[in-house]
Structure 1
Amino acid sequence: MVQGKTYKTSSGQYVSKDNIITIDKNTVIHSLTKEPLQIDWEKMSKSKYNGIDPEEIIDQYGVDFTRILMLTFVHPRSLRNFNCNYNLVI
């Protein structure tokens, strides 16, 4: 299962990536309330604001590389934390 990074308030409300401020690698806050947010990896869902637009990834990396990215280093039934922030030299 492919998972995306989620951001939640202390009350469990999901927060969009557009409404966060990154302090450091493991610390983010809500851009409006300045409340610290919990970072977790969960199944991708629009309601959790952790989905991706496949067309953006394909436009950025190409179809073949996107397929390789999704298939490499992962057992078929394992959880896959999807992260497209790579510094790659091709």
Structure 2
Amino acid sequence: MNKLMKSFCIGILALSVSFLLLVNSSSAQSITLTLGSGQDKPGETVSLSLNLSDSNSAASFQLTIEYDASMLENPTAVRGSSLISAEKFIYQYAR
């Protein structure tokens, strides 16, 4: 996979997540989900940060990330320090 293809794939991933806006129904407070960007050489690992603003008011959320499997393989999610300290977990499965 060349650098342009990987950048394109990351762009599609970013677009698929960027439409998400979560609203806490009890307080009508907006919560925003943003996805970082990145690129690397073919065959290398690319890490992207997924950030949730005002995460203290969110008890949980669910999202689906769609991607072109011919351009990105073996996507995984890991908990960052904020999720670890808040004792939050990630459940993931592949379709």
User: TM-score normalised to the size of structure 2?
Assistant: 0.23
- More strand, by proportion: 1
Relative CO higher for 1 or 2, CA cutoff 8 Å, sep ≥ 6? Answer: 1
